[in-house]
Amino acid sequence: MVSPLETRLSQHLPLTFAERDALQWLERREQRFIAGKVIVREGEAYENLHIVASGWLHGSIRLHDGSRQILRFYFVGDLTTAFSIAWRHSAATLTAVSACTLYEMPRAALGRLFRDHPRLGALLYAVSASEHVATADRLASIGRTAGMYRVATFLLDIRSRLLVVDGLAGATFELPLTQQDLGDAVGLTKAHVNRSLKSLEATGLLEREGKIIRIKDVDALTKLVGFKDRHGHVAIDWLPPSANFGDIDHNETTVA
Amino acid sequence: MVSPLETRLSQHLPLTFAERDALQWLERREQRFIAGKVIVREGEAYENLHIVASGWLHGSIRLHDGSRQILRFYFVGDLTTAFSIAWRHSAATLTAVSACTLYEMPRAALGRLFRDHPRLGALLYAVSASEHVATADRLASIGRTAGMYRVATFLLDIRSRLLVVDGLAGATFELPLTQQDLGDAVGLTKAHVNRSLKSLEATGLLEREGKIIRIKDVDALTKLVGFKDRHGHVAIDWLPPSANFGDIDHNETTVA
DNA sequence: CGTGAGATTGATAGCGTTCAACTGTGGTGG
DNA sequence: CCACCACAGTTGAACGCTATCAATCTCACG
């Protein structure tokens, strides 16, 4: 009965009972998808947002010339393609990378969450902000650096997020992507992704075995490519107090 | 006495008196800056967010190798580098492009806004989402398209935002940027920016006179480069009702 | 008229794409 | 159990876009 979104948000902030209850209400409609399934298609009207309960997904947009840009990968506890909330039609395509389980949540439920739990609304704003900055980092990386660096930055970023999500200690993880997918994420062709991976291996900082990636010296690689980790924490000092009914809160947190 | 942020948000949604009042409270500390001034520096602790009252600014980040990526330009009514809210230290450098006037607003004031006016919080979330998607579009553009297309997309994007902000009817506008700046925004060197502009002029779809840009056929150029306008509207159907005190609202909106 | 910043243009080199071929591997049907 | 197939990964060769470096030009300004 662990709520993924609650777990995620709790990493930033101790939540009140009422807040946790509200989050769990968002996670009642469970759906499962097989690997490769397109869940929401760019440009189509959509009714629901999705919270990831398990599995990998990605959000992508398609360009004029038919090529695809993968914007972000989503893991347990992520609110997928949340940026689409600004429109009735989805801004991106949501695709299951692996088999996954999602909770479906009506758009209006997010509005109610802002109303009933402003502090959670503000926290979601901050989380969304951190994702925006991660996108911005990738923008800079793609615009200005050579292929090998883009790939390394990408791998460090995924590793960093998996750490937060899975609590995996190590620098070894499985990357269930084709090199084509990887290329669509970092803006390279699959051929050059392959060469970039080879170059990385040649530095001795990275090893591969099939889909398994092992970063042999995370610090050295981080320094080499100038990677900035944006996922550790979000600032909460600016958030409003947990409610208009502070007394009830106090009771409930102690109960919890 | 026109409040820029209020004006901006009113474009999406009729605001109540209380909401408008709250927004105006954020705009009491006015500051002026000359062109070129660095207002917030990446990585430094910061206390305040800024609302643009007049002028152009941009937010940028610096890469490992010293090069600069401009993430976004800011105009009247924009909440600048709002994504930094997720950290105590600014995620980006905020620089005045032209002389400008800003309102300074403590970070915690944003938190109070979420608490006291949840609907505004949700609306800010949506606006932030639309900016995130704009960043994502640029990411795709930079990763996958040739220089001429990137520049054209950038110009169409700026034009589109100026339309919203200034209500300018035409396809002619002043671009107070050096070609170096433009290159830092679209991921090209200044030399290649120049060649890309020349190529665009050669198509007959664009004219330049100094800093003045005239797009001769917006629709044709939009179609040519596959530009998607993300600035027109944000969806508000998911927002919560305007307050817990519906009756007061009703009075106040009619009074207004 | 000198000065300096930005714009423009040219020559060259390199990175990444494109296209194509080949290899390895896991799954499937006979 | 094996032949076959599809798909991903790998590698090579040639091309083209963009960076780099440098020189020149333009223009506003003191």
Within-domain flag for B102: yes
State the helix-helix crossing angle for B17-25 and B118-144, rounded to 10 degrees.
60
- Residue ranges of alpha helices (H) inside A60-203 are 107-116, 118-144, 147-166, 179-186, 190-203
**Nucleotide closest to residue B146 (CA–C1'):** D17
Which range has the worst mean pLDDT, A173-182, A242-251, B34-43, B180-189? A242-251
Residues A199 and A93 in one domain: no
Enumerate the residues of chain B whose CB falls inside 8 A of the CB of residue A142. 139, 142-143, 187
Q: Is 50 exceeded by the pLDDT of residue A246?
A: no
Sign of CA dihedral A172, A177, A180, A182: negative
Residues A147 and A110 in one domain: no
Within-domain flag for B247: no
Within-domain flag for A167: yes
Residues A111 and A4 in one domain: yes
Provide the pLDDT confidence category of residue A40 given band limits of 50, 70 and 90.
very high
pLDDT of residue B143: 86
Rounded to the nearest angstrom, the minimum Cα separation between A121 and chain B is 7
Task: State how far the Cα of A237 lies from the Cα of A13, in Å rounded to an integer.
Answer: 10
B209 touches chain A (CB under 8 A): no
Q: Which residue has the tokens 């054209």?
A: B152
**Nucleotide closest to residue B36 (CA–C1'):** C5
Q: Cβ separation of A121 and B125 shorter than 8 Å?
A: yes
Q: Cβ separation of A69 and B143 shorter than 8 Å?
A: yes
> Which residue has its C-alpha nearest to nucleotide C16's C1'?
A192
Residues A92 and A1 in one domain: yes
Within-domain flag for A97: yes
The mean per-residue pLDDT over the stretch B57-84 comes to 94
Q: Cβ separation of B64 and A124 shorter than 8 Å?
A: no
pLDDT of residue A168: 64
Residue B189's Cβ-count burial label (10 Å; 0-12, 13-18, 19+) is middle
Interface test with A, best of B65, B125, B150, B193 (most A CBs within 10 A): B125
Which range has the worst mean pLDDT, A11-15, A19-23, A126-130, A247-251? A247-251
Which of the two residues, B144 and A73, has the higher pLDDT score? Answer: A73
The mean per-residue pLDDT over the stretch B215-232 comes to 90
A48 touches chain B (CB under 8 A): no
Which of the two residues, A253 and A14, has the higher pLDDT score? Answer: A14
- Residue B180: CB less than 7 A from any atom in strand C: yes
Interface test with A, best of B9, B63, B70, B81 (most A CBs within 10 A): B63
pLDDT of residue B245: 45
B107 touches chain A (CB under 8 A): yes
Q: Cβ separation of B126 and A69 shorter than 8 Å?
A: no
Within-domain flag for A235: no
pLDDT of residue A244: 47
List the helix and strand counts (H, then E) for chain B.
9, 11
Residues A161 and A112 in one domain: no
Helix (H, G, I), strand (E, B) or coil at A91: coil
- Residue B148: CB less than 7 A from any atom in strand D: yes
Domain count, chain A: 2
The mean per-residue pLDDT over the stretch A23-51 comes to 94
CATH number for A171: 1.10.10.10
Q: Domain residues for B94?
A: 4-239
Residues A145 and A223 in one domain: yes
Residues A95 and A5 in one domain: yes
Which range has the worst mean pLDDT, A18-27, A239-248, B101-110? A239-248
Q: What is the pLDDT of residues A85-136, one digit of tens each?
A: 999 999 999 999 999 999 999 999 999 999 999 999 999 999 999 999 999 9
Q: Is 70 exceeded by the pLDDT of residue B58?
A: yes
The mean per-residue pLDDT over the stretch A43-52 comes to 96
Enumerate the residues of chain B whose CB falls inside 8 A of the CB of residue A12. none
- The dihedrals phi and psi of B41, each to the nearest 5 degrees, come to -110, 135
Enumerate the residues of chain B whose CB falls inside 8 A of the CB of residue A138. 139
Within-domain flag for B211: yes
Task: State how far the Cα of A80 lies from the Cα of A65, in Å rounded to an integer.
Answer: 25
B246 touches chain A (CB under 8 A): no
Q: Provide the percentage of residues in chain A whose pLDDT is more than 90.
A: 79
CATH number for A76: 2.60.120.10
Domain closes at, from A117, A150, A182: A117
Residues A165 and A70 in one domain: no
pLDDT of residue A248: 41
Within-domain flag for B226: yes
Within-domain flag for A35: yes
pLDDT of residue A1: 59
Q: Provide the percentage of residues in chain B whose pLDDT is more than 90.
A: 82
Long-range contacts, A186-195 (Cβ 8 Å, 24+): A186/A138, A186/A141, A186/A142, A186/A147, A186/A150, A186/A151, A186/A153, A186/A154, A186/B143, A187/A69, A187/A142, A187/A150, A187/B142, A187/B143, A187/B144, A188/A147, A188/A150, A188/A151, A192/A147, A193/A147, A193/A151, A195/A147
Rounded to the nearest angstrom, the minimum Cα separation between A19 and chain B is 14
The mean per-residue pLDDT over the stretch B11-16 comes to 93
Residues A106 and A154 in one domain: no
Enumerate the residues of chain A whose CB falls inside 8 A of the CB of residue B192. none
pLDDT of residue B66: 87
Q: Cβ separation of A140 and B61 shorter than 8 Å?
A: yes
